[in-house]
Amino acid sequence: MDLFWEILGKKHPCDEVTYATIIDGLCKAGKTSEALELLTKKHDGKWIKPSVYCSNPIVDSPCKEGRMDESLSLFHDMINYGVVPDVVTYNSLIHGMCKSCPREEAKRFLVGFCMMQEFHQMSTPTML
């Protein structure tokens, strides 16, 4: 991380792939709080546009540890930042719910996701 902060300190631009890679690595190393701090600085500092690729590991990490309240809170934060969840986001949450919540709650979440996908497909114009 020191090298990453040094690069940023020298005003070298980092792209979405760089941030996503660092955030994913931090989450896999059990440093989700550091990853969240980086994501927050990235968004608040307007360094780069919020993305699902940077947000997914942060939502997934607490899911794997059975901390669903935290994952759902991060999921809602993600949406509030304007990041549109994708199938990876929902897969992480549903998997976590199946492991640590009543199945009915996971089922409701899955149904909500399917309804959102249908709405999105209906509201998106198609080319003929």
Per-residue pLDDT tens for 67-92? 888 999 999 888 888 888 888 998 89
Higher pLDDT, 55 or 125: 55
User: Per CATH, which fold does 2-123 belong to?
Assistant: 1.25.40
Q: What integer pLDDT is reported at residue 88 of this predicted model?
A: 92
pTM (predicted TM-score): 0.73
In the chain, where are the structural domains located?
Answer: 2-123
- CA–CA separation, 105 vs 61, rounded Å? 19
Higher pLDDT, 125 or 39: 39
Higher pLDDT, 79 or 121: 79
What are the tens digits of pLDDT across the range 17-44? 888 888 898 899 988 888 888 888 776 6
Decide if 55 contacts 89 (C-beta within 8 A): yes
Q: Per 3-state DSSP, what percentage of the chain is helix, strand, and coil (rounded to 5)?
A: 75, 0, 25
